[in-house]
Structure 1
Amino acid sequence: MSRSVLVMVAAVLLSMLPGVARAEAPGAVGTAGNLIREAEPRADGIRHVDTKVMIAGLKALNANTYVYPMAGDNVHWEDLRREFLPAAAAAGIDVWVLVYAPSQAVCCVSRPYKHDYVAWAREIATLSKTHPNLIGWTVDDYGHDLRTFTPEYVKQMRAAARPINPSLKFVPTVYYSQFTDAFIAEQVPLLDGVIFPFRDEPHRDTSWTWSLSYQVRQLAKRLPGTDVYLMPYAHPLSHAAQKPTVAYVEAVTRKALEHVRAGELSGIVQYKLPFVSRDAGWTRPASDNLARAGNGRLSFVVQQETTTKAGMWCGASRQVQLTPGAGKYSVSFWHGDGRGRGNPAGFHVKQLLLNGTVVWQQDVAANDHAWQKTTVDLTARLAGAKSAKLEWRLYERKGVGNYFVDVSVDDIVATGLQLSDPGVENAVTWTAGLARQGGPVYCSAQVYHQNYGADLGARIARSYAAG
């Protein structure tokens, strides 16, 4: 027997072992939310869900799964039953229903059954019998409402649904920090899977991706046999300093697809990816572009109400080659931070490092101008060298408890040094050189896309097709 055949046989046998997480090929790939209503009301005076436009958008995304939110009035439930489910079935798209938890009542109440989740379980199961592409349902922010969703109550939900459709999946939304030992012991055996929104916990941002693989593998280890669906944030995350960028969502999605192929995830559903041009999030306002010129900048952030310690930092580094025969080596760049002399000094410090040594630094409170230019002569320090490492960094000289800052670096000019993408217009060029020490100080290449929905959708569609 050839080695390749042995590997295939071993993989099949491994997938059959109990306790080994595995994904159904090709896995669920899709998005959640962003229901679009028709532009004009019908004869009944109601602007119904625009099923035709939404299905076209989902097909363009190469999605095989859509999470349909039950927000607003009863028309969402009626349109789901009468129009959306049949159209989705014809397009080969599976549907999950999303209902909102009691803690979300200020913004969202699902109708017609509101907070009667036993009724939701029963009625969704009943609907799924006539629409087999309705394969599951979820409760958003489930982990925040465990006083409601006690094991006893979840058993009632299961008892209402299982006799009607035993294959209907209940896959609530649970954040990484909510997977406590008690939750895993008491709740997970009652669930058919979980949706796991990724937000870089214990921090809260949509720019840093390095913790993703660790968290996915930890959940695969701690939840053997449980279907885990990753939810990247394509929509702004509340209380986060920055909106997700095209490059960020694409990077999270590509990495997640690797974990789907490895059997560590069962699929991916974006959080509110704008996939229809009438969506309010389809474009980004010009005010979102915080670059000095062009569309990109380096960003170094400490969020509000965030605790840091002295010595924490985040840096963006690049290895550069020296131009042979150059008589002078220097680097100039523009930087800003939105702070000034009226703010306390001695906490956040902007730095430039050469081969690990600080060659320039400035407190964020040192200057009242939003943008300023700095030039650092490196000639003497680079005598006889052929290459060097440049690193822009935000450093915590003292810890803070609540001192927001967003430092920008842009328009870099390297003299005698070969540096690609000095205007930070391509996030991928800079992402590999990002590093942080300590956690809550983070950094990223922030590149603005005015046509956010179209640009992101095209990239996700390619990833879904390839995945």
Structure 2
Amino acid sequence: MIPSFWGSRSFLAVILTLGLAASLWPSRPDVTVSVISAPSRPPSSSAMIGDYGGEIREVKPRKDGIHHIDTPKMIQRLRELKVNTYFYLIWHEPTDWDDLRREFLPAAQKAGIQVWVYLVPPSEAMEKASEPFGTDYVAWFRAIGHLSRSFPNLKGVVIDDFNDNRGFFTPQYTERIQQAGKAENPDLLFYPQVYFPGITTDFIEGYHHTIDGVVMTFRDDKYRNTHRLQSLPGQVKQARQLLAPHGLPLVLMIHASKLSATPASPTVSYVDKAVRYGMDALRNRRIQGLITYVLHKVWFPEVKEHLARSGTGYASVFVSPNNLTQTGTSAGFRQRIRLSPSSRYRLAFSYMSVYPDQVPLSQMTGQYQMQLWVDQQIVWRRDLVTQDRERWEDQTVDLTSYLRGKPSALITLCLTRIKNGPPAWIYMGFDRLKTEGFTLDNPDFESVKAWTAISTSPGMIPSMLRFDPGRRIRVYITVMRLYRAFDLYQRLRSEVHRPLIRDLTEQWMGSMVAGKIEESIRQLEEMMRFLAIERELTSQKGLLLQCREMLHLLKVMESPSVLDRSD
């Protein structure tokens, strides 16, 4: 467990005075997304950079028995992050609306933080709705608009999963709720949260007059995962092209926490790379806002994701629920082994599978098969649904007849689609391999070494998943470092006018978004030397202090003692 010490002191003060444990920093990225090193024009001073959800609750319930929002700790965390915007979710407790009105909004206003109310749609309100107005969105917008007249930092409303609820949010009804808010405050904004497949010409033509912008949450659609980022630039470009003719801003939301119906939370390196892309898009005005989705601000191990049969890692294959895989496609892991003469060859291993309980087993049975291959021959197979969900089963296979007399062989563990069926997300795993008569490297999948991931369909994603007990705090620090860098960048752009320093500022941010830490350290130090002689600059001391804090964060990250964690 992370000691309670972290939750009781200023986290930033700890970092700046004591440094940070090396194992908290992200390792080299495992994904590649291109960035543009020099912006065509500087970011807008109104660029939104912020966070959604991940609220901190008070440890002790109040007299009503409810753990209310811990406003002081929330504001402390948001200020540490240097965000200018927070999407405030009203859903988890019936007191969230009152906590917003009476406590959070006044504190956020004092801290200079803009707030957007985040509401759940009817599809998420069947068992629990946002209180007190439930699915009466006219009442919600009217109340939020009225409240924003007293708190000018209350800027707008976001509705989750808007596109999946268009049967409810018809263009006529959406216009009605938008107008209810603007009748109270003409400046109140409404941004629906929409995934990339929902940002279509049809959607924009039908709704552009009823919305003020769009929040697009990235999840590698159409394959629905938080493993890969290659499609991110293209999705931003296409969404922007559709929205720009109508003057609608695009806000990019990046997952910092688990996407539902996937095997694991995004890795630290995934979040690092995604946020760096978002910063580059923001500084080039390809987007107008960047928001992290549920950046946890209280840190403890996510024990539900510790699924390995032994150790911390296992080999996994994830299939998205969009039914995009075809019969005969497969994904898994393979390794070439060298053989010495032996009277017997055996392989023991563990396997498990997870699939939705909403889909009848009769429909799932026979769709997918777990397999063990030796060279081009299947030597073991098992249907995905023949054992309990999320329960590891042990298997031993005699490979003597398949390996005898061979100098080497290719061992493959995989998942194969056998027949078509109803769309459903699934994932499965292999772990704890034990051999007799031969050896395997990395038999417990505790690293990415030795095994080669294979896939014949982009809808089947093989990954070596390893439980990271410090993931939450490492993600927080990663985002904090990048957000603080962007805040410093914006200050330097707006407050310093000497061309040499402005050029250095652009070079430095280019290195930051490219992940070139050594270069960014050198450029920041050079920039500080020139800032030190700008004695007529009224904000000189504040900028130099912020530069020194940033330099400390970068040097701690680049320290040789940093553990090389490969996510």
Q: What's 2:327 paired with?
A: 310
Deviation, 1:412, is 8.2
Partner of 2:207: 187
Which of the residues 265, 268, 271 maps onto 2:290?
Answer: 268
Residue of structure 2 in register with 1:442 after alignment: 461
Q: Over aligned residues, Cα RMSD in angstroms?
A: 4.5
Alignment of 1:243 with 2:259, yes or no, is no
How do 1:246-395 and structure 2 match up within 5 A? 246-247=267-268, 248-277=270-299, 282-285=300-303, 288-302=305-319, 306=323, 308-315=325-332, 335-338=349-352, 348=369, 350=371, 362-365=380-383, 370-371=393-394, 380=407, 393-395=414-416
**1:226 aligns with one of 220, 230, 248:** 248
Question: CA, structure 1 residues 307+150, in 2 after alignment: closer, same or farther (shift >3 Å)?
Answer: closer
Identical positions, percent: 29
CA drift at 1:299: 1.0
Where does structure 1 lack aligned partners over 5 or more consecutive residues? 1-6, 16-22, 383-388
Match of 1:455 among 470, 474, 478: 474
Distance 1:398 1:360, change over 3 A: same
Q: 1:457 to 1:381 in 2, by over 3 A?
A: same
> Where does the alignment leave 5 or more consecutive residues of structure 2 unmatched?
1-36, 341-345, 354-363, 487-567
Normalising to structure 2: TM-score of the pair?
0.61
Query: 1:251, CA displacement in angstroms?
Result: 4.3
Query: TM-score under structure 1 normalisation?
Result: 0.72
Q: CA deviation at 1:25?
A: 5.5
1:196 paired with 2:210, answer: no
Note if 1:83 corresponds to 2:67.
Answer: no
Q: Is the 8 A contact 1:430 1:445 kept in 2?
A: no
CA distance in 1, matches of 2:428, 2:474: 26
Q: Please give the alpha-carbon distance, in whole angstroms, between the structure 2 residues aligned to 1:118 and 1:351.
A: 57
Measured against aligned partners, the alpha-carbon deviations of 1:264-308 in whole angstroms (never above 9, x if no partner) come to: 33333233332124xxxx4322x5322243322221133679463
Report the alpha carbon displacement of residue 187 of structure 1 after superposing the two structures with TM: 0.7
Counterpart mapping for 1:387-466 below 5 A: 393-396=414-417, 398-399=419-420, 401=422, 406-410=427-431, 424-425=445-446, 436-466=455-485
Structure 2 counterpart of 1:408, one-letter code: G
User: Contact 1:297/1:445 (CA < 8 Å) preserved in 2?
Assistant: yes
Distance in 1 separating the partners of 2:88 and 2:291:
11
Could you give the per-residue CA deviations for residues 82-134 of structure 1, whole angstroms, max 9, x where no partner exists?
Answer: 22122223333221101222332223322333333233323323322332322
How far has the Cα of 1:393 moved from its partner?
A: 4.9
Aligned pairs (5 A) from 1:48-87: 48-71=68-91, 75-87=95-107
Quick one: distance in 1 between partners of 2:63 and 2:142?
A: 32
- 1:125 aligns with 145
Whether the aligned pair in 2 keeps the contact of 1:177 and 1:201 (CA below 8 Å) is yes
Q: 1:462 to 1:333 in 2, by over 3 A?
A: farther
Residues 1:251 and 1:297: Cα distance change in structure 2 (over 3 Å): farther
* Aligned equivalent of 1:139, options 153, 159, 176: 159
Once residues 48 and 347 of structure 1 are traced to their aligned partners in structure 2, the CA distance between those partners, rounded to angstroms, is 45
- Alignment pair present for 1:148 and 2:168: yes
Structure 1 Cα separation of the partners of residues 453 and 483 of structure 2: 26
C-alpha displacement of 1:174: 1.4
AA aligned to 1:460 is V
1:32-89 residue CA offsets vs partner (Å, 9 max, x unmatched) = 2243432334567765321012222333444332111122566322221222122223
SS at match of 2:222: coil
Contact 1:96 1:136 (8 Å CA) reproduced = yes
Task: Please identify, of 248-257 and 293-302, the stretch whose mean Cα deviation from structure 2 is larger.
Answer: 248-257
- Aligned residues of 2:200 and 2:242 also touching (Cα < 8 A): no
Q: Per the alignment, in what secondary structure is the counterpart of residue 202 of structure 1?
A: coil
Within the candidate set 124, 128, 152, 1:108 is matched to 128
User: Which residue identity does 1:121 align to in structure 2?
Assistant: F
Taking the aligned partners of 2:453 and 2:242, their CA distance within structure 1 comes to 29
Q: Distance in 1 between matches of 2:69 and 2:427?
A: 40
Contact between 2:267 and 2:471, CA under 8 Å: does it hold in 1? yes
Shift of 1:185: 0.4
The total of aligned residue pairs comes to: 425
TM-fit CA distance, 1:139: 1.3
CA–CA distance in structure 1, aligned partners of residues 322 and 189 of structure 2: 38
Question: What per-residue deviation string (whole Å, max 9, x for no partner) do you get for residues 149-175 of structure 1?
Answer: 232333333333335544332111112
Contact persistence 2:49–2:291 (CA under 8 A): yes
Residue matched to 2:547: none
CA distance in 2, matches of 1:192, 1:62: 25
C-alpha separation in 2, matches of 1:270 and 1:304: 24
Determine which structure has the larger helix proportion and give its number.
2
Indicate conservation of the 8 Å contact 1:136/1:169, yes or no: yes
Partner AA of 1:437 in structure 2 = T
Distance 1:85 1:111 in 2: 17
Q: Does the C-alpha gap of structure 1 residues 295 and 58 become closer, same or farther in structure 2, counting only changes over 3 Å? A: farther
Q: Which moved more, 1:343-352 or 1:184-193?
A: 343-352
Post-superposition offset of 1:182: 1.9
CA 1:438–1:218 in structure 2 vs 1: closer, same or farther (change >3 Å)? Answer: farther
Q: Distance in 2 between matches of 1:202 and 1:346?
A: 20
- Checking the alignment, whether the CA contact within 8 Å between 2:339 and 2:408 is kept in structure 1 is no
Q: Whole-Å Cα distance in 1 between the matches of residues 347 and 238 of structure 2?
A: 41
Partner of 1:4: none
Query: SS at 1:338's partner residue?
Result: strand
Question: What amino acid sits opposite 1:253 in the alignment?
Answer: V
Q: Output one character per residue of 1:320-360: Cα deviation in whole Å (capped at 9) or x when no partner.
A: 9x9xxx998xxx99754327xxx97795354679xxx8587
Deviation at residue 392 of structure 1 after TM alignment = 6.3
